[in-house]
Amino acid sequence: MNGETEKKIDELLALMTLKEKIGQLNQIIFDIHDIDGIKEKVRNGEVGSLIFAVSAFAGHDEYQMPELSVLNEIQRIAVEESPSGIPLINGRDVIHGYKTGFPIPLAMASSFNMELVEKSYRAAAEEAASEGIHWSFAPMIDVSNDPRWGRIIESAGEDPYLSGQYAVAAVKGFQGEQLSAPGSIAACAKHYIGYGASEGGRDYHRTEISDYTLRNKYLPPFREAVKAGAATVMTSFNDVSGQPVASSRYMLTDLLRSELGFRGFTISDWEAVKQLMRQGVAEDRKDCACLAINAGLDMDMVDLCYSDFLEELVNDGKVDMAAVDEAVKRVLRIKFAVGLFEHPYTKKLDVDYDKHMRIAYEIAAESIVLLKNNGVLPLCKNSNICLAGCMSDEQKALMGSWSSPEYENTVTIKNAIEKICNTGSFGCCLSSVPYELQQTLRNADIVILAIGESEKVTGEARSLCYIELPEDQIKLAKTAKRFGKKVVGVICSGRPMALESAEPYFDALLYAWHGGNMAGEAIADILFGRVCPSGKTAVTFPRRTGQVPIYYNVSSSGRPVNGYYGEEEINNYEDCLGSPMYPFGYGLSYTTFKYSDIKCNIAEMSLEELRGGKCFEVSIDVTNTGKYDGKETAQCYIRDTVSDMMRPIRELKGFKKVMIKCGETKKIIFRLGFDELGYYDRYGAFAVERGLFEIFIGPNCLTGTKITICVD
């Protein structure tokens, strides 16, 4: 922020009454039925921001933005009639697309293609900006190990590094080169912090997180988002080890601002200030407001605690005027950065929706993960095919939770397959009754079962305690198998489902997530070999629900029970293997890749050199040894072999997705320096310890070629 803007902010502040200042910290719901009421509040300087949502569970609602003329008129009142003339900032959840529906974030992360992720968010930003939205409540970068948690769909999965890269791509996409440029909107990194650790996968539940784990696991994506310039941060509903985040000065000021260097403004989640009463740390709403503002929470989302009580609290001496001033300044800085003072009104942009659909197609195709293939895929378009299962003709479910209402544009899996499969016979059984499937499958060589879970069991406040594929869906596969058919499962889901009991009945399994508007076409193109699958799991797939939490970056246990990394003499469970069904970073292709010749440019380096910015360069040759051109994501993991604190057996520190033609070899190089080899110690200091580090490069977290390097 330049000095001139700071001067303007100080001048504005000097003219504002306390009431007007508090208005800037107040976000209210845009209620279409009370436009006059909103105008009145804006005119009186009581509002700093509008949120476009109809309920606390916006991810499940269908919502149409009001006409631009309505928004511009309200903005005109803010600029011309309110006492301080400060424009409003309009916020909305733009989670995985606006009009164009992109795959759910967990799927987009599984593309491991951050360029495409950035383009997707850019497209969403342009579409949203064109309708008067200045600010998106995304990206959600809560690391989570619990697929029972409905909100895992909104995250980039279980890995701090991947989530950090995802955060950077999303922030860059939303905010563009310049936040004030047309088509850019402010990003909001959420939910700060630890929400993904909700106990038992129960939404809004408590969390128990040590500082060590917080810094090494939950904070890294936020650190990246802050570095990438995220304009805002949303606080989470949960407590961390007994202290609600919304009232934690340690989290909101000491960590977020002093340690991570965040300069934007924070906003509470929906009524998260008021809920401090329910969490048992505040007596009444006034108390809630007092705790939150003193913790460093700048804007209050919809519960009006600030607007009702801050004035009194300042007058009582319970809140310093300086704390209010600081919060207002932070809000104003972002309003300046977004360009609202120069261009408060929205003009329709010339949005290229066709281009956005093409991006949606590309990322949908790259996010689909081939989990199993006994050689049945890709299909030949002359095959006699029978399609069945609840997802065959679905539109809404493919869009997932937090989707725009425009799901009517979605080509269903059935329509997309019909378009390709024009020479063979094509039968479709939309019933989920095995008997009816029998009638349709007689002439088929191949049965495609498009199954999975509805978007209605995913998202906010929609956790599951059982994440296996439903029995009636497995029954369809069993029926097809009984008739001697080849069975291909296309699973559309918002979470990694537990597939151990279903897997034996499928010859191939394609995990298509909730893939957005273009999911159907992407699925059909992969089934028929027009596209070579290249997605990799951004989260571990458990065998059974009871294995949860199961994640790859575990530390070694003292006894040989590290099931994730091989079945050993002591198993985790008597009734289930300890290893995952599919590990993190896993995904097959129609071609095969060979990893060979791992090398490091230097075997040893002093800690001083490393601190001075010198890096190890580890390279590997990846050869496409199969019959298709294809993309491969090479992944680089490290293990700090002996350290003061226990470190994970594998930690992702880099990935590269590259196209490799048949027969071609590509050399892939990873640079590992101080940032990659270090961790936050028990005192919160970032350190690299001397000693040996194992570097694994491979196609997933379990299969890799290893080399050892030494820091001395």
Residue 93 makes contact with ligand NOJ by CB under 6 A = yes
Closest CA relative to residue 375, chosen from 492, 507, 531, 509: 507
Residue 53 binds ligand NOJ (CB under 6 A): yes
Shortest CB 94 distance to ligand NOJ, Å: 10
- Strands 630-640 and 691-698, by their bridges, are antiparallel
Does position 552 interact with ligand NOJ (CB under 6 A)? The reply is no
For 156, the 3-state DSSP assignment is coil
Strand locations in 423-480 (E):
426-429, 446-452
Q: Note if the bond before 378 is cis, omega within 30 degrees.
A: yes
Which residues within the stretch 128-157 sit at the binding site for ligand NOJ (CB under 6 A)?
Answer: 137
367/533 Cα distance (integer angstroms):
8
Q: Output DSSP code: residue 545.
A: G
Q: Decide: is 269 part of the binding site for ligand NOJ (CB under 6 A).
A: yes
Nearer to ligand NOJ (CB atom), residue 127 or residue 394: 127
Site for ligand NOJ in 154-193 (CB under 6 A): 190
Query: CB-wise, 35 or 56, nearer to ligand NOJ?
Result: 56
Q: Which window, 52-60, 127-135, 393-401, 626-634, contacts ligand NOJ (CB under 6 A)?
A: 52-60
Residue 121 near ligand NOJ by CB under 6 A: no
Q: Identify the helix (H) or strand (E) that includes residue 511.
A: strand 508-511
Of the candidate spans 36-44, 51-59, 213-221, 321-329, the one that interacts with ligand NOJ by CB under 6 A turns out to be 51-59
Q: Confirm if 84 and 16 have CB atoms less than 8 A apart.
A: yes
Residue 139 vs 704, nearer CB to ligand NOJ: 139
- How many Cα atoms occupy the beta-carbon half-sphere of 408 within 13 Å? 3
Residue 58 interacts with ligand NOJ (CB under 6 A)?
Answer: yes
Find out whether the peptide bond into 191 is cis, omega within 30 degrees of 0: yes
Rounded Cα distance, 2 and 410, in Å: 45
Smaller CB distance to ligand NOJ: residue 302 or 469?
Answer: 302
> CA 503 to CA 506: how far, in whole Å?
6
Rounded to a whole number of angstroms, the minimum distance from the CB of residue 302 to ligand NOJ is 8
What are the angstrom distances between the C-alpha of 99 and each of 124, 180, 293?
7, 22, 36
Say how far apart CA 60 and CA 400 lie, in whole Å.
9
Report the helix count and the strand count for the chain, using DSSP H and E: 21, 26
Q: Residue 291 interacts with ligand NOJ (CB under 6 A)?
A: no
Whether 203 is catalytic is no
- CA pair distance 470, 206, nearest whole angstrom: 29
User: Least Å distance between CB 83 and ligand NOJ?
Assistant: 28
Q: Per rule CB under 6 A, is residue 46 in the interface with ligand NOJ?
A: no
Closest to ligand NOJ by CB, 137 or 149: 137
Residue number, 269 or 468, with CB nearest to ligand NOJ: 269
What does the DSSP assignment read for 671-702? EE-HHHH-EE-TTS-EE--SEEEEEEEESSSS
The distance of closest approach from Cβ of residue 155 to ligand NOJ in the complex, given in angstroms and rounded to an integer, is: 11
What is the closest distance, in whole angstroms, from the C-beta atom of residue 299 to ligand NOJ in the complex? 12
Which of residues 121, 270, 593, 595 is near ligand NOJ by CB under 6 A?
A: 270
- Separation CA 103–CA 493 (nearest Å): 11
Residues 117 and 136: their CA atoms lie apart, in Å, by 15
* Residues 699, 77: Cα–Cα separation, whole Å: 57
CA dist 399 and 396 (Å) reads 5
Is 108 one of the binding residues for ligand NOJ (CB under 6 A)?
no
Q: Which of residues 372-391 bind ligand NOJ (CB under 6 A)?
A: none
Q: Which is the catalytic residue, given 93, 269, 300, 445?
A: 269
674 binds ligand NOJ (CB under 6 A): no
DSSP letter at 502 equals: T
Residue (54 or 642) nearer to ligand NOJ, CB: 54
Binding-site size, ligand NOJ (CB under 6 A): 9
Looking at beta carbons only, is 88 or 391 nearer to ligand NOJ?
88
Q: Could you say whether residue 460 binds ligand NOJ (CB under 6 A)?
A: yes
In the bound complex, what is the minimum distance in angstroms from residue 269's beta carbon to ligand NOJ? 5
For the window 415-444, what string marks contact with ligand NOJ as x by the rule CB under 6 A?
Answer: ------------------------------
Question: Can you read off the two tokens belonging to residue 198?
Answer: 């909700």
One-letter amino acid of 378: P
Tell me the catalytic residues. Answer: 269
The contact set with ligand NOJ (CB under 6 A) reads 53, 56, 58, 93, 137, 190, 269-270, 460
